[in-house]
Amino acid sequence: MSLRILGIDPGLTRCGIGVIDAAGGRRATLVHAGVVRSPSDAPIDRRLLAIARGIRAAIEEYGPDAVAVERVFSQNNISTVMGTAQVSGIALLEAAERGIPTAMHTPSEVKAAVTGSGRADKKQIQTMLVKLLGLEAPPQPADAADAVAIALTQLWRGPGPVALDSTGGARTSAQAVWARAERESRRARERSTSRH
């Protein structure tokens, strides 16, 4: 059974969207990578509306089993943090309204999950995405690649720092599907090994 994850790299000008399907055994395939844009000269309410519509359209088109959003971290530029936080809230709300489990991951968690190092740069992440997903080139622009990396992090690491349910971390249907796929893959490998 396949598991589909929508990763979101929140941003007010460019919000990255990445969709992957689990293929079992830590393998995944890229379904979609892109960005939702809002005009930087528009009023904040119109910009947030544009982003909300884009996220909503992605959720409705791709029907993810879980949505993962990059967790906002403190930067020097407070206006950038505010916009990113507002977009994060929209993404979480759009998923919650549809009953889709959500999680958040910090940038360092994403880097560590994809490259093995929490200090990796964007180029290293993009290089690993090409290898891990069997792509000819990394998703463009960088916001889209970041969103794909966030989706992969959710696929491999599970709930992340934000619990996926009100009980504080019980397994969701999405996690259960992934765990079942992992078990089936492990059993198949064991059967194959025992025959040789």
**Domains of the chain: total:** 1
What would the two tokens of residue 138 be? 């990394």
Dist. CA 89–CA 191, nearest whole Å: 45
Q: Of these residues, 9, 21, 94, 146, which one is catalytic?
A: 9
pLDDT tier at 26, thresholds 50, 70, 90: confident
pLDDT tier at 171, thresholds 50, 70, 90: very low
Q: What is the predicted pLDDT for the residue at 25?
A: 74
Q: Say which CATH number the domain at 86 has.
A: 3.30.420.10
Containing domain of residue 155, as a range? 4-195
Known active-site residue 9: yes
Q: Of these residues, 21, 109, 143, 146, which one is catalytic?
A: 143
Block residue for tokens 């560590």: 112
Dist. CA 108–CA 185, nearest whole Å: 29
- Give the annotated binding-site residues: 9, 70, 143
Contact 3, 20 (CB under 8 A): no
| pLDDT tens per residue across span 29-51 | 999 999 999 999 999 999 999 99
Dist. CA 4–CA 143, nearest whole Å: 19
Dist. CA 99–CA 102, nearest whole Å: 9
Q: Of these residues, 21, 65, 70, 94, which one is catalytic?
A: 70
Q: What is the predicted pLDDT for the residue at 175?
A: 46
Residue 27's H or E segment, with its range, is: strand 27-37
Highest mean pLDDT (candidates 135-139, 155-159, 171-175, 187-191): 135-139
Dist. CA 100–CA 67, nearest whole Å: 7
Q: What is the predicted pLDDT for the residue at 136?
A: 96
Block residue for tokens 């090409």: 130
Known active-site residue 146: no
- pTM for this predicted structure: 0.80
- Give the annotated binding-site residues for Mg(2+): 9, 70, 143
Angle, helices 142-157 vs 122-133, to 10°: value is 60
Residue 6's H or E segment, with its range, is: strand 4-9
